[in-house]
Amino acid sequence: MICQIQINNKNVRFDTDVYHHISLGLSNGQDNPDCFYLPEPVFTPFRAGNFVGSTQEGGNCNCYTLTISPHGNGTHTECIGHIVGGFTIHQCLKTIISSATLISITPTLISHNDYVITKETLVSKIQDTDCKSLIIRTLPNSDEKKNRSYSGKNPPYFTADALEICVEKNIEHLLVDLPSVDREEDGGALSAHKAFWHFPHAPRNFATITELIYVPDNIPDGDYILMHNIAPLESDASPSRPIIFPIMK
């Protein structure tokens, strides 16, 4: 189906049958990213009397209890409720479709094993964008990101002033292929999260951060239509499946 929408007073078209999903699925066990030492997902067949919720174990249907930690297991979208009480992702994410820009960035080494995405690097990449969503693919990029162990490895992160630029550019939704926009161990400062949500001065309750996406190399940098998909959880974060559609010429 060909859809036409208006973005910044311009009509753009996209084909709903031509898209890329840029999320990591959640699997039972260890075949997932490992972040912040959070437990791996566990999918357990429900049992009651003679009933077992597993067709592999002879049950009539599958009925599993899922134990997951969204912030550490795979692609997830979080809201300002991640740093302050009273907000849930189901309440805060009002956007279904938005204009998006995909950029690729090589983090900068600023000290021993400290790789960051700086204000200067980000400004050079997004100075011309007027999209509401920003998708960042870090380089180098490899399939290893699909199940990489990040815990205790101090993965790349953002400086707070880099995310202040996102606020200045009116970017409402940030999507990154990292476990967090902040340093793995920062003493609880969460300065990049706070900068993006403009907390506590003028909180952007509508803004979201999606972490642990994966953007394959065959998807070129450029402008897209982004569709946001989350589970309707009344929690600070939810597993998510963002999808991008190429804009038709």
CA distance 201 to 188: 18
> Which pLDDT value is given to residue 8?
78
- Asked if residue 7 has pLDDT above 90, the reply is no
- Asked if residue 249 has pLDDT above 90, the reply is no
Confirm whether 35 is domain-assigned. no
Confirm whether 63 is domain-assigned. no
Confirm whether 77 is domain-assigned. yes
> Which pLDDT value is given to residue 88?
98
Token duo for residue 98: 């938005």
Confirm whether 50 is domain-assigned. no
- Asked if residue 128 has pLDDT above 90, the reply is no
**How many domains does the structure of the chain reveal?**
1
CA distance 21 to 151: 25
> Which pLDDT value is given to residue 149?
96
Confirm whether 6 is domain-assigned. yes
Which residues form the domain of 157?
A: 2-26+70-246
Confirm whether 121 is domain-assigned. yes
- The share of the chain scoring above pLDDT 70, in percent, equals 100
Give the pLDDT band of residue 220 (cuts 50, 70, 90): very high
Question: Which residue in 26, 87, 31 sits closest to 209, CA to CA?
Answer: 87
Instruction: Give the CATH number, domain containing residue 189.
Output: 3.50.30.50
CA distance 236 to 91: 10
Question: Which residue in 178, 161, 162, 186 sits closest to 83, CA to CA?
Answer: 186
Q: Output the pTM of the full model.
A: 0.96
> Which pLDDT value is given to residue 127?
86
Confirm whether 163 is domain-assigned. yes
Give the pLDDT band of residue 181 (cuts 50, 70, 90): very high
Each residue's pLDDT tens digit, 222-243: 999 999 999 999 999 999 999 9
- Helix/strand/coil percentages in the chain, nearest 5: 15, 30, 50
Angle, CA 104 vertex, CA 103 and CA 110 arms, to 5°: 125
Provide mean pLDDT across the span 170-195: 97
Confirm whether 39 is domain-assigned. no
> Which pLDDT value is given to residue 10?
85
